[in-house]
Amino acid sequence: MKKTLLAGIFGLMMVIAACGNGGEGTEGNGAEPEANGTAAGEELYQQNCAQCHGGDLSGGGAPGLQDAGADYDQDEVVSIILEGYGSMAPVQGVDEGEAEDIAEFVVEQ
């Protein structure tokens, strides 16, 4: 019973850790995202969102985002990133400009 409980707690901690980047703006390599736009948005998406939503937006631990542009406009996606939605917590360590870049990338896919 203790092993099962500890495994469950550890698994939950891993999911929570994977869905945020600990408040860091980059992966710790000192590289800044490229200039504003879709390229920067894709890089930021990979750093902050892909763990849960999939590197190709197909989903995994969270819903796929391949058709997000059909359901939400860019401003709505920015709001979801910054404020959270449903069981998704706000993305930590992402400012409004970075959220706009991510949203642009997601909506254009």
Q: Give residue 103's pLDDT.
A: 94
Domains of the chain: 35-109 (1.10.760.10)
Q: Give residue 2's pLDDT.
A: 57
Q: Give residue 100's pLDDT.
A: 95
With a cut of 50, which residues of the chain have pLDDT below it?
A: 6, 15, 17, 22-36
Q: What angle do CA 25, 58, 84 make, to 5 degrees?
A: 50
Quick: pLDDT tens for 9-39.
655 555 454 555 544 444 444 444 444 467 8
Q: How far is the CA of 102 from the CAs of 7, 37, 57, in angstroms? A: 33, 9, 12
